[in-house]
Amino acid sequence: MRRVPLGAAAALGKATRVWRGFPIVYIIVCFFLLPIMLYGLSMLFEGSKGLVALGTVLVIFIGLWLLRTIYWFKYKNGREELVTKFAARQRKNDAINNLPDDMDKVKSDVADLKRQIRVLVEHTGAPEEEIFQSVDDDDAEKEKLLDNETSGDSNASDPDVVKQSITEVQT
């Protein structure tokens, strides 16, 4: 008998570890929504025969839905799907929370690249636009070669021709 509450506590702890928002959802559902729903359902059985019939139909639908959910959870990989969804939601929340820190790193990397470009411009004497244009041209040539390779062009499918073309673009 001790296994039931301990197993439930372990499952709740695991769900909390996977997604930190789970305890809030659990409290809202178990202590607010479920009691209100059950109270409303019980009130249907105290009214007229029509309300009793409606309550009976609702109880049958809720029972069938509950059985289907249990079947899905145990036999149709429902547990893994829930854990995957919880983990994805937590990763999304972590990414949103860490975005300012990540942006600071990106900004510092961009500043470093700008410094390196200034050094390159000073060293070569070439204008910045020319440097960026040559980089863009190289990227466009590489993309064109890769597109030809995937489109089934006879010369592009030959690995030696592709290697030679890429080497020409790089020089």
Is the model's pLDDT at 58 over the cut of 60? yes
CB contact burial 45-65 (16+ within 10 A = b; e otherwise): eeeeeeeeeebeeeeeeeeee
User: What is the rounded distance in angstroms from the CA atom of residue 45 to the CA atom of residue 38?
Assistant: 11
Measured CA to CA, the distance from residue 34 to residue 93 in angstroms comes to: 27
Write out the two tokens for 41. 């359902």
Higher pLDDT, 53 or 140: 53
Length in residues, the chain = 171
Which residues, including other chains, have CB under 8 Å from residue 73's CB and lie 6 or more apart? 79, 82
DSSP symbols for 48-73: -HHHHHHHHHHHHHHHHHHHHHHHHH
The 3-state DSSP class for residue 77 equals: coil
Say if residue 156's pLDDT is above 50.
no
Instruction: Kindly tell me if the per-residue pLDDT of 167 is higher than 80.
Output: no
pLDDT digits (tens, 9 = 90+) for 65-103: 999 999 998 999 888 998 899 889 888 988 888 887 778
